[in-house]
Structure 1
């Protein structure tokens, strides 16, 4: 049966974002694609419309800017596009010592994209969802949310915020017909590692295919799950189980070692 729901997906032409787009389009659902590069958006729009015979709209927006969320929301309102599923997929990390290597702009942009814009989007769209007594949100977090991340200090912290905030919203929205699901992937084979300077670290040595992770997240969203953990390669699976039992300082040393550039070769 065709899906008459429209999904708004941020970071739509990235690795995991592309997976979400294809999964939703395959069900017959229409799409609103959001990203910084209008050319990439237009190429993706044409490909998806041709392959799946669905309607695809695009919104060009820099999610690191404080007015991005309002621009996205206002565009949907002005065009008469109803959003049924909000998938906050866009996000980025970046390896480096907070004090000596990471710039102010890098970390403030990361906080804006990973925290501020998803928060603003939910603040804008959730009242409409609640008024309709229907709507689903999927926030893409990370297994990084469960621990501090030296050499990715801000990234791990942004994902801790995203997870805790999503879980709180899930409870606040109970009984409204609206759900917020948090997807917590492990290391994936996407552009994230290269963009963040992490491709030659131990952390990404066993990175996995993003498609099954996207499918797990999408299915979890449809069922209104609280958290979906998926795609844990190598050491990450036992680490997630035993992490709460490790002394914090030992854990910090271990995570630090996993994220040293060049460590995958040693």
Structure 2
């Protein structure tokens, strides 16, 4: 962000970036059935606007918001391992939504709710400021080509939106298996106002135990691929 940038510019940038990439995927009968049966209890609609999550979950608890949960395996593992916490997951792809809802119902979880739309819209329209303890962004599309870097979700406007929604002390936790994207995240976040990098060297943290290892990640490790975790706490 430069000194000449006007306050309106981050909002314009934010509206042009999506939290997802559209990709083809065929939903199975089981996944569709899980949506049909689980959505009335666990699904949330963007059109409903601002949510009182204390009322929705029936309690006050630490609250995690996950942007793009994929097929939901990590989300389910985290929610099952921390029943004292609440989780709000957002994923636009229906097979992933169906897979997550199937797992929620099979495991009898009650601390998880789901949106199926753009996570940035949910944050802007449905989440109160200073209400989240954690925001998770695991393995977002790195947009490898230089001409596509402007499509990366981690931008100054994204950092400011997340800062607004986190409580003081709340943490943005990001992970990527693409080192150039990790460097991009560091460039954006290390100068973002109101944050502190939780890594002592202002780079990446050791792999946190609370982030489940995915099948995709384990395959990458076997092939010698690295994974970089970044954590930034809201301090202002």
Q: TM-score, normalised by structure 1?
A: 0.45
Considering fraction of residues, name the structure with more helix.
1
Of structures 1 and 2, the larger Rg is shown by 1
Q: TM-score, normalised by structure 2?
A: 0.49
Q: Which has the higher contact order (CA 8 A, sep 6+)?
A: 2
